[in-house]
Amino acid sequence: MLAAGGPRSLALAAARADIVSLAKSAVAPREEVVRLARELRELAGPRADDIELAMNLFAAGTRELPPWTKQAAGVTPEELEASGSLMLLRGTPQEMADELQRRRDEFGASYISVNATYLEDLAPVIEKLAGR
């Protein structure tokens, strides 16, 4: 697994990694993440379909963001929420499942990690996605 966001790390990930975490700012626009995923796949050539994309979820569900958000993500909870950050997964279990499926369809996100605080919020989402 390799986190990649710049040209050199992206090229290395495309050539060697099995799992790639797209390293972008917590408030990076969705279009930027889609562009980076597309660039990774283009660089990977015939390996493109063998690469899994990992995404870190800072928060899931409807709970308020923790006070340590600024320290961990570099932005305030308000900035993170207002940006539509892909590090957040908000809504009902069905809405969150739909969003994860959208991310898979749109740019190939297939591995998800989440802060342990939100495991219970994510469990029903995983049940809805089982087998898909």
- Contact assessment for residue 55 and residue 86, using Cβ atoms and an 8 Å cutoff: yes
* pTM, two decimal places: 0.87
Residue 18 CA neighbour count, 13 Å, CB half:
0
Strands 52-57 and 19-22, by their bridges, are parallel
pLDDT of residue 95: 94
Distances in Å between the Cα of 52 and the Cα atoms of 2, 13, 80, 100, 132 are 11, 11, 25, 14, 15
In tens, the pLDDT along 71-111 reads 877 888 788 888 889 988 889 999 999 999 999 999 999 88
Going by pLDDT thresholds of 50, 70 and 90, the confidence category of residue 10 is very high
Question: How would you classify residue 55: left for phi > 0, otherwise alpha for psi between -120 and 50, otherwise beta?
Answer: beta
